[in-house]
Amino acid sequence: MTSRQGVPDIVLHNGKVLTSAADGVVHQALAVSGNSIQAVGSDRDMLALSGAGTEAIDLQGRTVIPGIIDIHAHMDREGLKRACPSLEGLRSIDDILAAIKRLVDQTTPGEWVVTMPVGDPPSYVDVPQTLQEGRYPNRWELDRVSPQNPVYIRGIWTPWNVPPSVAVANSLALRLAGIDCDTPSPDPSVTIDRDAQGEPTGILIDTARFPSLEFTLMKVVPRFTHAQRVEALKESMTLYNSVGTTGTYEGHGVAPEVLRAYKELWDEGRMTVRSHMVLSPAWRSVKEAAQEMDRWGHSASGAGYGDDMLRISGYYIQYRGSRYTSRARSAELPFTGWAGFAQSYNPPGRFRRLVRLAAQHNLRVNTIVRDNLDEVLSIFEEVHRDMPIDGRRWILAHIRETTGRQLDRIKAMGLVLETIPLTELWLRGGPLADDSQAAALAVPHQTYLERGVPFGFGTDNKPYNPFMTLWSAVTRQERHTGKELAPEQRLSRLEGLKAFTLGGAYFTFDEDRRGSLEPGKLADLAVLSDDLLTVPEDDIPNLHSLLTMVGGRVVYQNGEL
């Protein structure tokens, strides 16, 4: 038994406690005192600590894990998805038209009808082939069920899958947007589909990495309000708690409109997920960046500013990107749409100056390196030679392929790797299925462990259930063929759990305070619906929480326990 002194407030017993501690011991019970773990051990020892005021919870054999820390969460998006009606499960244009008709019948003439995309969340794969007709509905078909209401079927947020993002508008929506046969495309990445006579069909195609339609051609579409963002964030936290997530790290950065929603919930004491925010800058030049860092950099320097529930540190600094997308989306700030972050364009020279400024102000840098790892490492090394960054835990996000030489460079600078295995292996792993050499370099988690390179898991909110992501790291299956991609890189279930708990805590400088169920650490935990260690592999994605605690406080309970 490992214990601290005193009578516990809560004892969880008759279960299986996976602590994520270095010793790997599985215990039967744990005791919680205040907001912390008091002790872990056997049923007899934990119950012996109990006093008259101790609440004893019989786990009935259930498994307890440390709370999941999702290090690429985009948590604010999940509730927003419910702000618009879903078209999930519809398999024909007639089905879509019937759904639109039902929505129109609930509105007054002239009121907008805006839906989620065609297809099934979270990734909206294989659309429009999932429809019987193999195509999207057009404006005239939508007009039949909505002649007096503007209708807009959103395109996907392309990181949910891959471009293109295809939206559909009816005739009234096109008229309000000012789109007709003479309207030019704002950029080669945007196509206004037209019929043989040159008339827009209502189908709008955006092939950019981050779509810009609602910032340009269709900016007339109603936007998310602050009230919607606050309500959506509350709902998101409940949903994340329901799958055992107790902490997030938003390494892709958050814009002011999202921070404002978080701050409102924090002011009201209604946050149930420990949230570590990274700033998404809206500066337009290196000069503006320098001025901002001089004025406010101290508030986000080092490990950050805030408390255990809401903390802010560092910047997300985009490397390269699209000049057009940046200009189009920045022109509509503070609105950011699904992104929740501002979009920047930083060619190598500007990026170099920005990260050097960040280093001078002790501001942690986060950047996506899926396609540009060597270039970013070279720039970081230049900075590191003048101002050592090892120990500052700069983040390489959305990392995909890494060679041994690259990992040596990463380790020398103390960088931390954010991996999203479900995206890289399951969703987009098709090209790796017949290339074993490339597959062995794709998010090679066992190699990271062998080399001592710190990493964690992010869901990227597709889906928000972390156990689908954990399953992907454990199985490394590709979705079309079911083939295992470099099976020697598979993690064990306990290794995957540690990446999602202790690994996540390392991102927030909290590995000594959370991420494992050890005495003195915060009592962030989840009681699972099944045993993570023995449930069949194919059932891992279905795991969820029956009871979730944050700091010893129950924030979610579904009634089964």
Do 113 and 151 touch, CB atoms closer than 8 A?
yes
Element (H, E) at 504: helix 502-507
- Tokens 């508008």 sit at which residue? 169
Helix (H), strand (E) at residue 377: helix 373-386
Length of the chain: 561
Whether 395 contacts 418, CB under 8 Å: yes
With contact defined as beta carbons under 8 Å apart, do 325 and 184 qualify? no
- Residue 559 is predicted with a pLDDT of 81
CB contact at 8 A, 419 and 465: no
Residues 6+ away with beta carbon under 8 Å from 22: none
Element containing residue 448 per DSSP (H, E): helix 445-451
| 6 Rama class: left (phi>0) / alpha (psi -120 to 50) / beta | left
How far apart CA 152 and CA 173 sit, in angstroms, is 7
Q: Is residue 9 pLDDT above 60, yes or no?
A: yes
**pLDDT computed for residue 560 by the predictor:** 77
Q: How crowded is the C-beta side of 268, counted as CA atoms within 13 Å?
A: 11
Beta carbons within 8 Å of 208's beta carbon, 6+ residues apart: 158, 163, 165, 187, 189, 190, 322, 324, 325
CB 474 within 8 A of CB 490: yes
Rounded CA separation 65/532 (Å): 9
Residue 442 Rama label (left phi>0; alpha psi -120 to 50; beta): beta
Place of tokens 């109990």: 50
Domain formed by 1-61+514-561, architecture: Roll (2.30)
Q: Report pLDDT for 272.
A: 98
The pTM for the full model equals 0.96
Tell me the per-residue pLDDT of 53-109, one tens digit each, with 9 for 90 and over: 999 999 999 999 999 999 999 999 999 999 999 999 999 999 999 999 999 999 999
Provide the edge-to-edge strand list for the sheet that holds 525-528: 26-27, 16-18, 63-66, 525-528, 545-550, 553-557
Q: How confident is the model at residue 2 (pLDDT cuts 50, 70, 90)?
A: low
What are the tens digits of pLDDT across the range 176-232?
Answer: 999 999 999 999 999 999 999 999 999 999 999 999 999 999 999 999 999 999 999
Instruction: Give the torsion through C-alpha atoms of 297, 300, 301, 306, to 10 deg.
Output: 140
Q: What is the pLDDT of residues 123-180, one digit of tens each?
A: 999 999 999 999 999 999 999 999 999 999 999 999 999 999 999 999 999 999 999 9
Q: Domain residues of the chain, as ranges?
A: 1-61+514-561, 85-153+164-207
pLDDT digits (tens, 9 = 90+) for 234-275: 999 999 999 999 999 999 999 999 999 999 999 999 999 999
State how far the alpha carbon of 518 is from the alpha carbons of 3, 11, 26, 163, in Å. Answer: 9, 14, 12, 44
Q: Looking at residues 479-493, what average pLDDT do you find? A: 96
pLDDT at residue 3, as a whole number:
52
| pLDDT, position 286 | 97
Please give the helix or strand (H or E) that residue 16 lies within, else none: strand 16-18
Q: Rounded to whole angstroms, how far apart are CA atoms 74 and 459?
A: 9
Inform me whether the pLDDT recorded for 1 exceeds 60. no
| 370-425 residue pLDDT tens | 999 999 999 999 999 999 999 999 999 999 999 999 999 999 999 999 999 999 99
Helix (H, G, I), strand (E, B) or coil at 527: strand
Q: What pLDDT, on a 0 to 100 scale, did the predictor assign at position 139? A: 98
Q: What is the DSSP letter of 184?
A: P
What's the confidence (pLDDT) of residue 23?
86
Cα 463 to Cα 80: distance, rounded to the nearest angstrom: 14
Residue 357 to residue 387: CA distance in whole angstroms: 11
Q: Which two tokens stand for residue 291?
A: 């001025």
Instruction: Give me 88's structure tokens.
Output: 């999930």
* Average confidence (pLDDT) over 433-453: 97
Identify residue 161 by its one-letter amino acid code: N
Burial of 163 (0-12, 13-18, 19+ CB in 10 A): middle
Q: Hey, what amino acid is at 53?
A: G
What are the tens digits of pLDDT across the range 504-528? 999 999 999 999 999 999 999 999 9
SS3 of 528, please? Answer: strand
